[in-house]
Structure formats: structure tokens, C-alpha cells
Amino acid sequence: MTFTPRTPRVVAARRLQRRRDRDQSGRFLAEGPQAVRSALAAGVVLELFGTEAALTRHADLASQAPVVSPVTDDGLAALAETVQPQGLVAVCEQLDVPLAEALAKAPRLVAVAVEIRDPGNAGTILRTADAAGAGAVIFAGDAVDPYNGKCVRASAGSLFHVDVVRAPLPVVDELRDYGLQVLATTGHGDAGLDELDDDGSLARPTAWLFGSEAHGLPEDLLEAADKRVRIPIYGGAESLNLAAAAAVCLYASARALR
């Protein structure tokens, strides 16, 4: 039987587009073959919805899902949030872990997204942190839901590769307790990124704090950090955008930690 937008299972899954329903159920949606493949590898797929064409095209993915539910094109469109959903949407279990559990694995590189509200930025930080070899990405304070569809898509699978943590705002002491130096990014930092690179500081296990583009980092986190770091600006720009700043800092660490 092929499900339609009115089939109760499809109606129930579609509710996961809303944060309230994600929070209550502990589930979320991942769409497209790339995200579904990563979700299957992480072992968090509960049910895979797909059009007949997509399930045939991606038979390798369908064979790994615990439950496969064929849907009509309309049914798929109801579940998907993109215009070209590529035929697959998986219902997944949320997979974030407590801060202590992530830090107990002794990651050498950690990204902390502080009060970041934009889901596209949050997803990009997940993707960039994963690429740079970070073991954990922490969403601190009143941040966007990491399971927001736009965040999941922008992460391009990385949500399933790193340890995702949701934590209250004061995280610095705990990061330091686990042996990480805490570097806060700010346009008014007293330490230049290149100087930290030159003097070997970046070769130590590091947690980077990134604030929102609109507000930056809260004052108490800036003060609690070990260093306030300024990315050098060589031209006329006032600053970098969040995704670019995170890429520059995380890759400077990745290179030093090789």
C-alpha cells in the first residue's frame, strides 16, 4: 500500500516539521539521500518514507531501514520542506548527548554555537566543524533547535557525524575541566589568530566559542574564556560572517592539531 498525505502515519510524521512536536516526541525528519545515508549509518532511522522511484533508485538505503513506507508524490511533498526533496524522508530519533558524555571522549576540537538563532548558520557550523575534525558541536543557551529542517539540511549529514550537545549557557568551566582551552571569537579580541598560530597555542585541544552575527558573544562568556581572539581583517570589511569566521578558526586549529 502506498501512503498519501492523509494516511495517519504521514500526518503524524509531518508534525515533526514543528519544534513542539519534535521536542515532545524526541524525533525529527531528515530528507534527501545524503542525510538518510548518514542517519542510517548513525543507527537513528525509525521509518523511511520514499516514492516508488526513489526507493528503487536508492535500494541500498531502503534495505537498511527498519521500516520502509512507500508514499505517493503528494505524500512525499507533504513530508518534505524543500522544493526538490529527491524522494526520501526519514523519521529519526534525536541523537544529542549530554555535555559530559561528549567531553569524556576527550575531543581535541570542539565548536560551541552560542545563542545562534539562524538554522542555516547552525547547520553550516555543524558541517564545517565536522570537516575540520571536531568531535562535538555544542548548542549553548537559547539556540536554534539543531533538528530544525533547515539546520539538518545545511549540515549536509554532519549532524549525524559529530556529537551534538544542547547545553545551558555557562559551559566554559566544564570545557576547561576536560582539558580544553576556551577561545572566544570577537572583533575586539586582544589576541590575534595568526599570533596564536605562530606561538603554538592552537596545537592544544581547543573549544571555540562563536556568537550570533547580530549580537556576538555575551559578556560573561567573553570574560570566562581563556582568550578573546580576533580574526585579522586585511581589507576594508568590518568583519566576517559567522560561517566564514567559524571556518577560519576551526581550520586554523585543525592545521595546528595535525
255 binds a second copy (CB under 8 A): yes
For 233-252, b/e burial (b = at least 16 CB within 10 A) is eeeeeeebebbebbbebbeb
Site string for a second copy, 126-145 (x = CB under 8 A): -xxxxxxxx-----------
- What minimum distance in Å lies between the beta carbon of 127 and a second copy? 5
Site map (CB under 8 A) of a second copy, residues 17-56, x = contact: -----------------x---x------------------
Q: Which of 161, 175, 186, 207 binds a second copy (CB under 8 A)?
A: 161
DSSP notation for 144-207? PPTTSHHHHHHHTTGGGTSEEEEE-S--HHHHHHTT-EEEEE-TT-SEEHHHHHHTTGGGS-EE
Could you say whether residue 232 binds a second copy (CB under 8 A)? Answer: yes
Q: Quick one: which segment of 4-12, 43-51, 96-104, 234-242 binds a second copy (CB under 8 A)?
A: 234-242
Q: Distances in Å between the alpha carbon of 39 and those of 133, 162, 182?
A: 19, 12, 30
- The Cα–Cα gap between 228 and 202 comes to 13
CA angle 179, 182, 183 (to 5 degrees): 150
Q: Are 216 and 244 in contact (CB under 8 A)?
A: no
Nearer to a second copy, 78 or 118 (CB): 118
* Residue 143: DSSP 8-state: P
Among positions 197, 203, 205, 227, the unique one binding a second copy when judged by CB under 8 A: 197
For a second copy (CB under 8 A), the number of binding residues is 41
206 binds a second copy (CB under 8 A): no
Site of interaction with a second copy (CB under 8 A): 34, 38, 124, 127-134, 154, 156-158, 161-162, 194, 197, 231-241, 243-248, 251-252, 254-255, 258
